[in-house]
Structure 1
Amino acid sequence: MKKILVFAVLLLNFFIISNSVSAAPTIQVIINGTDQSYDQPPIIENNRTLVPLRGVFESLGATVQWNPEKREIIATKKAQTIWLKIGSKTTKVNGAVNEIDVPAAIINGRTMVPLRFVGEALGANVKWIADKRIVQITTDQSQQEVLPQFKQLQSDDPVVTMKTTKGGTVRKMRIYNAKPISPTIPPVLTTLRKFQGS
């Protein structure tokens, strides 16, 4: 009878412990207001939140290169170059040596880096909301190029140059004009289609 009682107590403890150690809810990543999804979700290790480097960096506009022989990663974004090595706490941002709390690690085939490193390396604002398990990453809007606003165009201006922040092509443009551009074009509205900007 004692053996059955001991077995029942052990079995009960097993179920209680397994329920309390059940998988923690996933960590949500939001970049500039957009919910992100990665094949290797962020994890918490040694009290540090680790995020997938390639997924986060590419979402922030960086290019990531992996050197499997040296186990090194080089990421570039505009004039910034970021270097790190798997298993090392040493990183370089534009040649300046930095230390991170937790070394970069490969987990399920993905390079994972501390969340704070993302902000420090790419100049993003990083916020960890612990109670909701949310990582918020935003870029500083003041760093984005501000395009001039046209209030009035002169009718004798021969060329209108348009530039977009995404390097895109203007497909449709409306010009409101009180005076005719030419004798054959009505003065109220002119629509240009398939305008190829440079």
Structure 2
Amino acid sequence: MRNIVNKLFLSAALLGASASVLAGPVALNGNGDWYNFNVIDGSGAWLNDAFTPLEFSYSSSTSFTLRITDFLSAGEFTGFRVNGSYFGATNVVAEDYSELAFTPDEAFGRALWSQGSWQFGPGSYVFSGDFGRAPAGQGVMAISVQGGNAVPEPSALSLLALAGLAAVCARSRRHKVES
């Protein structure tokens, strides 16, 4: 019975630790992958597909470049915060439905779409929306990080430490039972 209780406690602890990892900001990687978010005209936040506020995080031991771009139809733009403080905005462009960019890579670097690129030094950052404009009421934008030397998020490290502790405890119990 005691063994079952210990296993249940361990399972609950691991589940709780993994839930805290999943509940926070979306972790960006440094390989240039794009992560989409929604902008609603007049909103004060970036939104996920369920229309709840969305944040992104990145930790690096070296400098890196943050990129944000509008795509699909042109005309959306956004302001953003870094670690809770207003930092900047993508450039303002005219609403334009004459051409479509189906991926952020197709739009980034082209003058028709709102975008921006910023250099950051080593450190841990949380990026979030500040304001947005979407002429059609709602639009899609994307965020990406290039370069840097990604450092694991502290919550991921705590989950790894908890899993290691669980393995050590299980091994020591096994040795006690075998003795």
Q: TM-score scaled to structure 2, two decimals?
A: 0.25
If you compute each CA radius of gyration, which structure gives the higher value, 1 or 2? 1
Q: Which has the higher helix share?
A: 2
Q: TM-score scaled to structure 1, two decimals?
A: 0.24
